[in-house]
Amino acid sequence: MSEENAPLQLKSQKFREAREKDWRALAALVDRAEKGQLKRFTTEELLNLPLLYRSAISSLSMAQSISLDRNMIGYLQALCARAYVSVYGPQARLTEILSGFFTGLAQALRRLWAEFWLAFVCFFLGAVGGWLMCAHDSSWYTALVGHSAQGRDLMASPEQLRATLGGAEKNDWLAVFSVYLMSNNTQVALMAFAVGVMGGVPTGLLLIMNGMMLGAMLWLFVERGVGVEFAAWLSIHGTTEILAILMAGAAGFYLARRLLFPGALTRKAALAQAGKVAGTVMLGVMMLLVLAGIIEGYGRQTITGTGWRFAIGGTLLVVWVLYFTLAGRPRRKEV
């Protein structure tokens, strides 16, 4: 048996001797990459890594095709698997991935500045319109708010309206209203984005309608002398929640713009390109809505002071403005 295997062993030995230097070089680079030293690689080492990997893959394929030593084939399989991760696997740490996402989110929204302000105008005009309609004829309140009132109807007294803003007493129906509010706003945000492919008109109408609902509610609370308390309650979560809705509207308008005015691209290609930017923004929208729901659910019962609610809402507004305007901008080089 040993005499029969002698030619195969000799062939395997020559095969190894001709290529072992490259294998060892690849193994050394992979060892360093696995220890997190990839950023310390020189330019030459970075260029050599994929070349050595492909050479090892070629050696493995050849060794398997001519049935060389199994131990050598096993060694090459393990080496190629490790090298694949180093060459093609993600090298960034979790903190770097998260940092890259949040930086990319701010950059994506800044690409939609025109659409964002268009969404803001639609929402604002809707709120003003809802207020004026109710002020002219109070019956509009029921038409605009409808089943969303949840105890905030025209028959409610100032004390009853104040109770809907939360307080020391725990009311289970307030928790139900909080869940309803979050689910409704999530549906509005998703719808405002999705109908953007229909030319942007439905997106604008959705924003106007939701603005009208908010304006109607604000009119009722001001009419009953509870406007400041309502504004404080709204600010603690509204600065995040309304921002998310405006971002979703901006994403819908952006899809519409790229669809109607694709430029040099085909409409399909322009829509696919816009989908990447708008999709990033919508991920941020979902995160903001979840955060707003947490803040609203917690703040309604535990943070009851009007001043504290305004302070938290104002702080969040400043944070969002600074984040979305400054994050990801290139730093100016000092002269």
For the stretch 23-44, pLDDT in tens is: 999 999 999 888 878 778 888 8
Please report the pLDDT score of residue 160 as a whole number. 84
* Pair (55, 147) in one structural domain: no
Last-in-domain residue among 69, 91, 113:
91
Decide if 332 is inside a domain. no
The pLDDT of residue 233 is above 80: yes
* Pair (87, 154) in one structural domain: no
- Residues sharing a CB contact under 8 Å with residue 158, sequence separation 6 or more, in sequence order: 224, 225, 226
Over residues 118-134, the mean pLDDT reads 95
Residue 200 CA to residue 185 CA, distance in Å, equals 19
Select the highest-mean-pLDDT range: 14-23, 66-75, 147-156, 296-305: 14-23
Residue 219 CA to residue 214 CA, distance in Å, equals 9
Please report the pLDDT score of residue 107 as a whole number. 92
Single-letter code of the amino acid located at 174: L
Distances (CA, A) of 147 to 5, 150, 157, 217: 86, 7, 18, 13
Please report the pLDDT score of residue 168 as a whole number. 44
The pLDDT of residue 106 is above 80: yes
Residue 203 CA to residue 121 CA, distance in Å, equals 12
Last-in-domain residue among 38, 65, 91:
91
For the stretch 141-183, pLDDT in tens is: 988 887 655 667 788 888 888 887 765 445 554 454 455 556 6
* Pair (202, 223) in one structural domain: yes
Please report the pLDDT score of residue 86 as a whole number. 80
Collapsing DSSP states into helix, strand and coil, what is residue 132?
Answer: helix
The pLDDT of residue 249 is above 90: yes
- Residues sharing a CB contact under 8 Å with residue 245, sequence separation 6 or more, in sequence order: 119, 123, 185, 188, 189, 192, 207, 210, 285
* Pair (37, 77) in one structural domain: yes
- Residues sharing a CB contact under 8 Å with residue 7, sequence separation 6 or more, in sequence order: none
Over residues 239-259, the mean pLDDT reads 92
The pLDDT of residue 82 is above 70: yes
For the stretch 216-225, pLDDT in tens is: 999 999 999 9
Please report the pLDDT score of residue 151 as a whole number. 67
* Pair (75, 128) in one structural domain: no
Decide if 235 is inside a domain. yes
* Pair (167, 36) in one structural domain: no
Please report the pLDDT score of residue 80 as a whole number. 92
* Pair (47, 160) in one structural domain: no
The helix or strand, by DSSP H or E, that contains position 271, with its residue range, turns out to be helix 267-302
DSSP 8-state class, residue 332: P
* Pair (149, 105) in one structural domain: yes
* Pair (198, 55) in one structural domain: no
Domain tally, the chain: 2
Over residues 311-325, the mean pLDDT reads 93
Residue 242 CA to residue 330 CA, distance in Å, equals 28
The pLDDT of residue 74 is above 60: yes
* Residue 109, phi then psi, degrees to nearest 5: -65, -35
Decide if 122 is inside a domain. yes
Last-in-domain residue among 91, 118, 150:
91
* Pair (119, 252) in one structural domain: yes
* Pair (225, 321) in one structural domain: yes
* Pair (215, 275) in one structural domain: yes
Domain that holds residue 51: 2-91
